[in-house]
Amino acid sequence: MKIPFKWLQQYIDITLPPADLANRLTMAGTEVKGLEVIGGSWENIVIGRIIAVNPHPNADRLSLPTIDLGTEQHTVVCGAPNLMVGDKVAFAYVGAQLIDGYTDKLSTLKPAKIRGILSSGMACSEKELGISDNHETIMVLPPEAPIGIPVADYLGDTIFDLDVTPNRPDCLSVVGIAREVAALTGQSLHLPQVSYEEAVPPIDQQISVEIDAPDLCPRYCASLITGVKITDSPKWLQQRLLACGIRSINNIVDITNYVMLEYGQPLHAFDYRRIRGNKIIVRRPTPGEAMVTLDGVTRILSENMLVIAGGEGAVAIAGVMGGADSEVTPETTSILLEAANFNPASIHYTGRQLSLPSEACMRFERGIRPELTIPALKRATQLIIQLADGKAARGFIDVYPGKLDREPILLSVGKVKTLLGVDFSLDQIVTALTSLGFDCKMGDSASEVLVSAPYWRSDIHQAVDLIEEVVRIIGYDNIPVTMLSQPLPRQNPEPILALKQKVVHSLIGYGFQEVITYSLTSLEMLSKLLPEPHPLEPAPLRLANPMTADQEYLRPNLRVNLLAALSANRRHEDGGIRLFELGKVYLPRPDDLPDEPEVLCGILSGPGFEKSWQGEAEPVDFYTAKGVVETLLSQLGVEASLEHCQDETLHPGKQASIVVADGSLGVVGELHPKVARAFEISEPVYLFEINLTALLPYTVGHRMFQPIPRFPAIVRDIALVVDAGITHQKVLNIINSFPLVSQVTLFDVYTGEPVPPGKKSLAYRITFQSPARTLTDKAVDNVQQQILAKLSHDLGATLRTQN
């Protein structure tokens, strides 16, 4: 909310400079987001009075006004058509900073010869002062403006831009902020004195009000003013509204807005003659009821809303917008002025459903107090009488079904200390609360007080609310700084957190860059993962209100985003790329929150090392990706086997499932070429995925220490020739089944001459070692023969001979 400093000063004496006051307000909970100084650049501009206007001898359109500044007089050249002897104007001396009417930039006024006459100084337009866009006429100041004083002193102001928190609708008003300032500075308030003459007959003979929905309308008050003249508002009122960001409409509407800004109570003015039947009913809309609002739009209403209805249907959507039918127009002569209180949730709902946020809505939905209606109604009625010549009917309508008594709240010194950790005396507590208008009565003991909140506060329900009031007035800076001194709670760290830490550090050790991608994606992106189109099974979780079509679904996997990331990076990266993400995927479950397992996904493409002068690096392949998986699992102490599988996103012949204890926990493989093309990737891409949540149980615990071998090892190399279909795993299993074998390393795989077609050669380095003795060559020869015999028998393997 915007509040001009000068308006605030009408209600409270302020000795602090605006910036200091802003800081006090901010510290106490009402943040001042900005201070806009009006007239900050108005140096060398003073108020003068036109005492003569003579024609320019050389130009018909120009004239030569003489301006009296009290101690001196100046004659200048002026082109404005509205120069009148006796008018007060803003006179700028040479050297003043003015906004240029054509370039809109601030420039310094220089003496100028216009059509042969020297003009030193000028009479300013509103535009030149930055007040409005009017550059056609010079600005005429009110007749009471004092001659000779700087315009900045007279018209300048500082606008406070306040961020009022949702619990303080009372601060959405000048009076509310004045009350805050009074409490913070100790100055006393002087609020507007409201009194006016009432005419006969009484209002209740002219209109009746009935509340059909008391749950949505706790109170409805109204006054009736007849004989009003609808005109423009006086200049001061227009400018004040403008400074607060509200456009001027006419004197009546402006007064309702002015009083809303002043007291925080929204008001609505009906054209009394347009309310049929002299009766108002506050009710829920009838099924399918529609009405045309002030903005000319037909609104369909629903049963959770509230309307103000006359004898012939709705005349306003309560608290949100008036109807076009009963709008105040230039022909209006009688005003029914409404000041009501509506249910906050209902107003919030209605404002949102109809997309009609408004200043009134904002105040109602935050829960202003029903007690505000009468003071605001009186104030507005008084202003209408003053500024629109009306006569008020005697009395008010006041229907108040929602009247509730508020119980006082018990507050003790001990409670304050328990919550804040600081000892405030009862005296300090009472002083702070009293300064805010709270009523404090002594309680049963000397350390207690019974507190009643002032009528304008809707946010005080219990002792902690009072404690906040006390400490924000005394100042948060007076809360001491202490470290937690309670015994440390028992720690039960979730094991998945440690696993995630371990995994990310391993991955960066392997040269992978971590990425974090959005959890939201689209069916279109997910479909790119399918080489042949078909519906996604199970369907991913959909949002009811997606921001954009490309963020409509919660991701069921990480690969979709990593492939998009790779594709995007390929536009500017030609080296090897290794990316990983560790994050949640979202798997729908019937009638429950989705399952959110933590998944690791990595992708690799391009050369394994950066291009170097020491030689071209080999591109990564399936075995690089598999190596990452094997190394990671080995670091985590997990025994896994890789088995054939069918993941449609991956190359049918180059993929393996990561199997731990008979369950598949992930996959590694080359991206299906059709999928790569869908992502606009033109090179082989390798990918691995591991469900860490599922892996977790196999990673906990630790391996036992193995003694370092005391006896020497004997190493033998053998080269086997086997059928091309025989896998390394089968050979390995046989070799490993012999007890003295401690390590087996495959060091060559070869096909082609001289190995016969349909066969391949596998070369192994086998380490033999015994934990109990030094092996002899003879013993090793013996085992090696047994190995070869079994390989030959089981797999048809022969020893490859040199020839």
Partner 1 sequence: MLQQLEQLKSKALQELTSINHPEQMESWRVRYLGKKSELTRILRSLATLPVDERKAVGAQANRVKADLADGLRQKEQALREMQLAASAQEERIDITLPGHPFPIGRLHPITQTLHEICSIFASMGFQVVEGPEVEWDHYNFEALNIPKEHPARDTMATLWVDFKTDSGQRPMLLRTHTTSVDIRIMETTPPPLRVVIPGKVYRYEASDATHTPMFYQIDGLVVDEGITMADLKGTLYEFARRFFGEDRKVRFRCDYFPFVEPGAEMAIECSVCGGKGCRLCNYTGWIEILGAGMTHPQVLRNGGLDPQVYTGFAFGMGVDRLPILRYGIDDTRLFYSSDLRFLRQF
**672 Cβ contact partners less than 8 Å away, ≥ 6 residues apart:** 531, 648, 649, 650, 651, 652
| Using rule CB under 8 A, residue 10 touches partner 1 | no
Q: With CB under 8 A as the contact rule, which of the stretches 96-104, 485-493, 527-535, 781-789 interacts with partner 1?
A: 485-493
* Alpha carbons 488 and 217: distance in angstroms, whole number: 51
| Using rule CB under 8 A, residue 484 touches partner 1 | yes
Nearer to partner 1, 244 or 577 (CB): 577
Please confirm whether the linkage preceding 201 is cis (ω < 30° from 0): yes
| Using rule CB under 8 A, residue 535 touches partner 1 | no
Cβ(170)–Cβ(1) below 8 Å: no
| Using rule CB under 8 A, residue 40 touches partner 1 | no
The distance of closest approach from Cβ of residue 446 to partner 1 in the complex, given in angstroms and rounded to an integer, is 22
* Alpha carbons 402 and 373: distance in angstroms, whole number: 13
| Using rule CB under 8 A, residue 516 touches partner 1 | yes
| Using rule CB under 8 A, residue 248 touches partner 1 | no
| Using rule CB under 8 A, residue 325 touches partner 1 | no
| Using rule CB under 8 A, residue 708 touches partner 1 | no
Cβ(115)–Cβ(142) below 8 Å: no
The distance of closest approach from Cβ of residue 198 to partner 1 in the complex, given in angstroms and rounded to an integer, is 37
Site for partner 1 in 128-167 (CB under 8 A): 165-167
Nearer to partner 1, 296 or 489 (CB): 489
Site for partner 1 in 163-222 (CB under 8 A): 165-168
Q: Which residues of 226-263 are buried (b: 16+ CB within 10 A; e: fewer)?
A: bebebeebeeebbbbbebbebebbbbbbbbbbbbbbbb
* Alpha carbons 186 and 180: distance in angstroms, whole number: 10
Judged by CB under 8 A, the residue of 404, 481, 549, 772 near partner 1 is 481
* Alpha carbons 388 and 232: distance in angstroms, whole number: 10
Nearer to partner 1, 320 or 762 (CB): 320
| Using rule CB under 8 A, residue 613 touches partner 1 | yes
Nearer to partner 1, 27 or 249 (CB): 27
- Helix spans in 114-214 (H): 126-129, 151-155, 174-185
Q: With CB under 8 A as the contact rule, which of the stretches 135-143, 603-611, 640-648, 787-795 interacts with partner 1?
A: 603-611
What DSSP state is assigned to residue 607? B
Judged by CB under 8 A, the residue of 146, 509, 697, 756 near partner 1 is 509
The distance of closest approach from Cβ of residue 672 to partner 1 in the complex, given in angstroms and rounded to an integer, is 21
| Using rule CB under 8 A, residue 555 touches partner 1 | no
Token representation of residue 380: 């507005």
Judged by CB under 8 A, the residue of 84, 292, 568, 749 near partner 1 is 568
The distance of closest approach from Cβ of residue 433 to partner 1 in the complex, given in angstroms and rounded to an integer, is 14
Site for partner 1 in 348-387 (CB under 8 A): 348-349, 362, 365-366
The distance of closest approach from Cβ of residue 40 to partner 1 in the complex, given in angstroms and rounded to an integer, is 13
* Alpha carbons 362 and 166: distance in angstroms, whole number: 9
Pairing type for strands 59-68 and 45-56 reads antiparallel
At 28 the three-state DSSP class reads coil
Judged by CB under 8 A, the residue of 151, 314, 316, 520 near partner 1 is 520
| Using rule CB under 8 A, residue 517 touches partner 1 | yes
| Using rule CB under 8 A, residue 630 touches partner 1 | no
Q: With CB under 8 A as the contact rule, which of the stretches 63-71, 79-87, 328-336, 493-501 interacts with partner 1?
A: 493-501
Give the interface size with partner 1 as a residue count (CB under 8 A).
98
The mark string for 416-435 relative to partner 1 (x by CB under 8 A, - otherwise) is --xxxxx-------------
The distance of closest approach from Cβ of residue 684 to partner 1 in the complex, given in angstroms and rounded to an integer, is 18
**633 Cβ contact partners less than 8 Å away, ≥ 6 residues apart:** 639, 640, 658
Nearest-Å Rg of the Cα atoms of the chain is 42
The mark string for 19-38 relative to partner 1 (x by CB under 8 A, - otherwise) is -------xxxx-x-xx----
Run of H or E including 202? strand 198-202
| Using rule CB under 8 A, residue 549 touches partner 1 | no
The distance of closest approach from Cβ of residue 414 to partner 1 in the complex, given in angstroms and rounded to an integer, is 12
Token representation of residue 211: 């509340």
* Alpha carbons 122 and 769: distance in angstroms, whole number: 106
Judged by CB under 8 A, the residue of 5, 160, 438, 512 near partner 1 is 512
Cβ(459)–Cβ(168) below 8 Å: yes
Strand extents, DSSP E, 373-526: 391-394, 397-399, 409-412, 439-442, 448-452, 513-514, 520-521
